[in-house]
Amino acid sequence: KAGVTQTPRYLIKTRGQQVTLSCSPISGHRSVSWYQQTPGQGLQFLFEYFSETQRNKGNFPGRFSGRQFSNSRSEMNVSTLELGDSALYLCASSTGATGNTIYFGEGSWLTVV
Amino acid sequence: QKEVEQNSGPLSVPEGAIASLNCTYSDRGSQSFFWYRQYSGKSPELIMSIYSNGDKEDGRFTAQLNKASQYVSLLIRDSQPSDSATYLCAVNQQVQEKLTFGTGTRLTIIP
């Protein structure tokens, strides 16, 4: 079955702009979580959605937001982009049960100039 | 103290030898433990998951968990050049679907 699909794969934005990233989870998975990966900070948890509700949130400013649709697809938005937001943004999906395996998409590479 | 700690490496191992990767975690209530492999420029790929104390083997990979010592390891037997990657230890700290990652260990297999 198809894996986690993320779009776009690569994008370049200007400081101050906003960006929306999209994620389609594995069929049947109801939990979608987002992570940011940078060389300096490693992989950090942004937030997780389950059945259209944000269930968990990491320590990121309010400029980072997300949502989940009824078909489990998810989007994350970053407003007022800063240079430090340049990163690989990873979407992951799972069934939603605690401890279940989490599978990652290929990621969206964001460069802020 | 970091929540999940790994030696950053780089760790160099001759081809055919055993590579040993280690990880410690701080939350004693952690329930689920994962090893992901990440090639440069790619996303993390699940290698092993382990939930109970002891060893779990899958092909050339063995994960070991010791909850009393808050320690999880990954052994790669008969190391191949294709195993050269960064290995990430991830822990689920009793919070649904939130993984806390170590900084990763970069492994290089020398032909």
pLDDT of residue B99: 87
Cβ neighbours of residue A100 closer than 8 Å, sequence gap 6 or more: A94, B97
Cβ separation B92–A56 shorter than 8 A: no
More confident call, A110 vs A55:
A110
Q: How far is B65 from chain A (nearest CA, A)?
A: 15
Mean pLDDT of all residues in A6-19: 97
pLDDT of residue A96: 75
pLDDT of residue A1: 58
pLDDT of residue B94: 64
pLDDT of residue A84: 96
Q: Choosing among B96, B100, B101, B106, which should be mutated to test the A contact, i.e. which has the most A CBs within 10 A?
A: B96
pLDDT for A2 beyond 90:
no
Cα A15 to the center of its chain, rounded Å: 19
Q: Choosing among B23, B39, B42, B43, which should be mutated to test the A contact, i.e. which has the most A CBs within 10 A?
A: B43
Helix and strand counts by DSSP (H, E) for chain A: 0, 11
β partners of residue A47: A34, A57
pLDDT in tens, A40-96: 888 999 999 999 999 889 999 999 999 999 999 999 999 999 999 999 999 999 887
Region for A83 from its dihedrals, namely left if φ exceeds 0, alpha if ψ lies in -120 to 50, beta otherwise: alpha
pLDDT of residue A97: 73
- Contacts of A1-4 with C-beta under 8 Å, sequence gap 24+, read A1/A26, A1/A27, A2/A26, A2/A27, A3/A103, A3/A105, A4/A91, A4/A92, A4/A93, A4/A103, A4/A104, A4/A105, A4/A106
Cβ separation B98–A48 shorter than 8 A: yes
pLDDT of residue B66: 96
Q: How far is A102 from chain B (nearest CA, A)?
A: 7
pLDDT for A99 beyond 90:
no
Residue with the two structure tokens 């092909």 = B59
Which residues on chain B are in Cβ contact (under 8 Å) with A98?
31-32, 92, 94, 96-97
Q: In angstroms, how far apart are the furthest CA atoms of chain B?
A: 41
Residue with the two structure tokens 């970069």 = B106
Q: Choosing among A104, A109, A111, which should be mutated to test the B contact, i.e. which has the most B CBs within 10 A?
A: A104
pLDDT for A11 beyond 90:
yes
Mean pLDDT of all residues in A7-33: 96
Cβ separation B43–A45 shorter than 8 A: no
The answer to whether residues B88 and B9 touch, using CB atoms and an 8 Å cutoff, is: no
Cβ separation B99–A48 shorter than 8 A: no
What single-letter DSSP state applies at residue A59? S
Q: Mean pLDDT of residues grouped by 10 in chain B (111 residues)? A: 83 96 92 94 93 95 96 97 96 76 95 93
